[in-house]
Amino acid sequence: MQKTVLITGANRGLGLEFSRQYAEAGWRVITACRQPKAAHALQKLADEYSSLQIEVLDVGDFAQIDALSEKLAEETIDVLLNNAGVYGDKAEHSFGQLDYQAWAHTLAINTLAPIKMAEAFLPQLENGKSKLIVNVSSLMGSLTDNTSGGSLLYRSSKAGLNAAMKSLSLDLRPKSIGILILHPGWVKTDMGGENALIEVEESVSGMIEQIKVFSLDKTGMFIRYDGGLVPW
């Protein structure tokens, strides 16, 4: 039976590559992004793969999340892939000149929205076979790994995501719903920049492999794209 994945932030970078690789693997792919009409690469994928559909979604608008869940109420979702994210930090707004409005926005997108997605799409996940919530986090959310400081907005938002998802993994385990927290590596995307170490294709294929081999005994773990454990 064909499995279904719902991917947020699917218009570029990791989200776009997730969409491509899952469509190529024969999955039904529901993609979501803020401005589908401007997402030309994603539109091209939809033209190539009939199993891929595009939905409008700004994950910062929780009413939109509820509306999309209602629209997809009859769907069965195997994997909910929380990929949408923002960096938030700017050099001109470091400590001493912090932009607290930008911080609140970063937390809303990176921390609160994935929890809201899980909450809104829980019924569709319960009807799925894989029953897995996947979160694209970052090594920058690791307290242990932080030896350089800086990036207060992004670090705190990803650490918050990790903490919330770790807790949710315990809450949802009785329903056999798993939580996977992934570090994609330092990837050559708009956010990662040209100095990053790995290509998008390598990162995503690695993360998809971790999703494929996931079992409930791994729920709540923080794992690298290549399978290594990330310190909290």
Question: What is the CATH class of 4-224?
Answer: alpha beta
pLDDT greater than 80 at residue 177: yes
Q: Are 133 and 124 in contact (CB under 8 A)?
A: no
As a whole number, the mean pLDDT across the chain is 96
Q: Across the strands, what pairs with 54?
A: 31
CA distances for 53 relative to 76, 123, 209, angstroms? 14, 20, 23
Interatomic CA distance for residues 99 and 8, integer angstroms: 26
pLDDT greater than 70 at residue 192: no
Per-residue confidence (pLDDT) for residue 215, from 0 to 100: 97
Interatomic CA distance for residues 199 and 184, integer angstroms: 10
Residues 22-62: pLDDT tens digits?
A: 999 999 999 999 999 999 999 999 999 999 999 999 999 99
Per-residue confidence (pLDDT) for residue 88, from 0 to 100: 96
